[in-house]
Amino acid sequence: MSDLKISKNVDPIENEIVDNKFILELSDHIIHIKSFIDPDDCKSIISSLDNNDLDKSAPYTEGLLNDETDSFFDPDIDAVERVKQKVFTDGLKIYADKVRSFNWSYYDVDKFHCSEMIVRRYHPRSEFEYHYDDIIEEIFPQWFMRRKNILTCNVYFNDETEYEGGDLHFASTNDTFRPSMGDIVLFPSNWMFYHKVKEITSGIRYSGTFWFYYGSNRRMGKGKRHQELFSK
């Protein structure tokens, strides 16, 4: 395995201790890991999106994601599965090692399931307004999936010099990230981590998102309430 470069060093011994408890900043839960994904896999995914007639079946979220963005739900690309597997086996461990000391009881990764990946190709004028990823029913109500997302993983497939704009911004922490090819950003999916993709002003941005969750991923009938979705 190649050396992993972590841009944010969240070391619990450096955090202020009050009454024998760590004082935790929200931003400490957002971990940017550089050069994590094999560049060949990144290039393979981009090539597959650009050179094949793939189904753009991923739903849009009205008022959040505009029509200038191409979305591909769980595309049949071998490299996508390799990326997910690497994050699941190696990326989660890095995240857990960094965040475990603060709130490990919340991040019980041994019980995580991995979702499908939505790969997006952002064209100029594309943007994704502020949102959070907690409950999949709220994000994509037409699916009515029985799933509560715990952790979000954003994966970046092309270099940041290939487009202008498109920064990842978190409202609650005022953190802004501009990842490059092969980088991933892991963060909690809950409402405290409202985030957006700023407008692309030129070039094309390729990225993917998937989630780690508890519970099943079975599609539910329309009209199911949250209490019914997560009662088991």
The whole-number pLDDT of residue 32 equals 96
Closest CA to 194 of 19, 9, 71, 26: 26
The whole-number pLDDT of residue 25 equals 81
Q: Is residue 113 helix, strand or coil?
A: strand
Distance CA 58, CA 70 (A): 9
Structure-block tokens of residue 148: 């509560």
Domains along the sequence of the chain with CATH: 22-229 (2.60.120.620)
Angle 207-208-211 (CA atoms, 0-180°, nearest 5)?
Answer: 150
The whole-number pLDDT of residue 23 equals 52
Phi, then psi, of 173 in degrees rounded to 5:
-110, -15
Strand partners, 92: none
The whole-number pLDDT of residue 20 equals 44
The whole-number pLDDT of residue 12 equals 39
Q: What is the pLDDT along the chain (232 residues), one digit of tens a residue?
A: 434 443 444 343 344 444 444 456 888 899 999 999 999 999 999 999 888 776 665 554 555 666 678 888 888 899 999 999 999 989 988 988 888 655 555 566 677 888 889 999 999 998 988 888 886 554 454 444 556 788 999 999 999 999 999 999 999 899 999 999 999 999 999 889 999 999 999 999 999 999 988 765 444 333 333 233 223 2
Instruction: Please tell me the pTM assigned to this model.
Output: 0.77
N-to-C CA span, the chain: 38
